[in-house]
Amino acid sequence: MVAQRVIWILLGLLLWSDPGAASLPLLMKSVIQALAELEQKAPAVKASHKASAWLLSGPSSGPYNHLYHFLLGARSLDAAELDPYSLSPELQGLTKEVARHGVRDGQEYGVVLAPDGSTVAVEPLLAGLQAGLQGRRVINLPLDSTAASRVAGVTFPDVAAIAPDGRAPSSPGLRDAAPDVTTANIGTNSPDATTGSPDVQASLPDAKAKSPPTTVDSLLAVTLAGNLGLTFLPGSQTQSHPGLGSEGCWDQLSAPQTFRLLDPRASLLTMAFLNGALDGFILGDYLSRTPEPQPSLSHLLSQYYGAGVAGDPGFRSNFRRQNGAALTSAPLLAQQVWGTLVLLQRLEPVHPQLQHMSQERLAQVATNATKEFTEAFLGCPAIHPRCRWGAAPYRGRPTLLHLPLGFLYVHHTYVPAPPCTDFARCAANMRSMQRYHQDTQDWEDIGYSFVVGSDGYVYEGRGWYWVGAHTLGHNSRGFGVAIVGNYTAALPTEAALRTVRDTLPSCAVRAGLLRPDYALLGHRQLVRTDCPGDALFDQLRTWPHFTANVKTRPARSVSQRSRREPSLLTLPASDLQ
């Protein structure tokens, strides 16, 4: 299988690259370029399961390395076998840069910038692709710790493959599950699917009531379950905020080379790692159920980090959280985290914190990890930090909000009228709004707390902690959230509506930033304006937290409307200050 051989060759080159080679910008398109070059050089007649050792022959020798070793079937190879597939010096430099994911001294390594503005760890992405190409195997665990010898690279006797069903998925692989896939709760991959923070605790495993898991899904283990379990072991000092899903800033966006985390206390489960792991899980699942001939990996990644796999705009990296939530459930993921920890107890060298841990303790770790991941990551919208869209510095001294707040004020930007559907356009809109607010209106910063695009992302304005300039006389009492576009006669996308209605406020409530009984209001209910547009305001009236009992200021007359709506270009200062 050409694709499987190529992924192993690349994984090997990640570890054997010449450290002195020149490096390309740390962009996803550079990784795709390396894959395309390997696909051209690797002859289709050669089998390459043997190349799996290349992933594991590098300097890392920790427990997760041994998990790869076992589940992805590696063995030792001489690095000389890489010679026929040597990459150009530039691509060798790139592979050296992304060889291993890690966090050291506030800097994150092994990550690249994707076209959607997200940062992605390469290692878990490639591991997920390889697990999917192998057919998403299910490992039957021995119940007794003496049932298998604790030798590095040991092969348990019972390994089953989750085979494709032999027919093409309906589109593009997330909507219909193959009959033999027992470890995924497949839903819809459309960005319009309803997702949110489920009641995780009610359905997670209870070690006192249930037996330990007896199987491990190789795909989930090498992407999400292993690192979730290890990070949440006692003593790992994982924190909900900011330990899980910490964001960071690139030194530059055009040719990025250095990525520094916004909080130096970040665990290994950074936003970039979770993005890469989730992408590896989603694409690995797709590959495991796609019949031959499978797409080339460079083509698959180009589509996934572009307009969408097989032309489906819902099946792209912008909507990884919705698609990931549709592929699994909290109880299934918790079982897989528990099972992966059981597996790691049986592989040498045993993680020090796993030694002598009871099944009840392992189950509790799995419960905590899954609950945090499901609620704080899958249940929250993806928010691009200010540095990602190129924000100018704040002018003056910001004022702290007194949290939690009791209101959420909804706006539309009016101009630009078209919704922004990709990162480049949304980021440009953010910079344009900030320039107008700062340079023309003489405000300290962009007025909104957050801005929601139609690209699947939320863009940080003044954020959770600083008083904004969005709703005259009420800025310190609530968050101002705007959706890019003019919604006088049309509605935003369902994904954007769901973000404002469900995921953004529920995430804020969970974090203690917004009161559980918060009131949701349209801008026009407090300020003389047509904002957020008739169509959107009519939609707000149907939402659970909408509050109608607010004294509404009269709408402007037709002559007054010549001043236009509050907008990027003509926003009256009185509307936002």
At 369-425, the pLDDT tens digits run 999 999 999 999 999 999 999 999 999 999 999 999 999 999 999 988 899 999 999
- Phi and psi at 521, nearest 5°, equal -135, 150
At 232-259, the pLDDT tens digits run 998 655 444 446 889 999 999 999 999 9
Q: Where do the structural domains in the chain lie, given as residue ranges?
A: 28-144+207-379, 384-541
- Averaged pLDDT for residues 355-366: 92
Q: What is the DSSP letter of 575?
A: H
Residue 488, CA distances (Å) to 109, 554, 565 in order = 45, 17, 10
Say if residue 444's pLDDT is above 60: yes
Can you give the pLDDT at residue 416? 81
Q: What is the DSSP letter of 412?
A: E
CB atoms within 10 A of CB 125: 29
At 138-172, the pLDDT tens digits run 989 864 444 344 333 344 334 444 433 333 333 33
Say if residue 575's pLDDT is above 70: no
Strand-pairing partners, residue 260, are: 107, 249
The whole-angstrom separation of Cα 390 and Cα 393 is: 9
The residue ranking higher by pLDDT, 136 or 181, is: 136
Return all residues near 328 (Cβ < 8 A) that are at least 6 apart.
Answer: 183, 184, 185, 220, 281
Place of tokens 């959420």: 408
Place of tokens 């979730």: 228
Q: Which of 80-94, 95-109, 119-133, 449-463 has the highest mean pLDDT?
A: 449-463
Strand-pairing partners, residue 407, are: 478, 519
Can you give the pLDDT at residue 188? 37
If 0-12 CB within 10 Å is exposed, 13-18 middle and 19+ buried, where does residue 49 land? middle
Say if residue 576's pLDDT is above 50: no
The percentage of residues in the chain with a pLDDT greater than 90, rounded to a whole number, is 56
Whether residue 262 contacts residue 249, with contact meaning beta carbons closer than 8 Å, is answered with yes
Helix (H) or strand (E) holding 161: strand 159-161
In the structure, what pLDDT confidence band is assigned to residue 293 with cuts at 50, 70 and 90? confident
- Give the closest residue to 21 by CA, choosing from 115, 86, 116: 86
CATH of domain 384-541: 3.40.80.10
Strand-pairing partners, residue 479, are: 408
In the structure, what pLDDT confidence band is assigned to residue 112 with cuts at 50, 70 and 90? very high
DSSP-assigned states of every residue in 317-366: GGGHHHHHHHH--HHHHHHHHHHHHHHHHTSSSPPGGGTT--HHHHHHHH
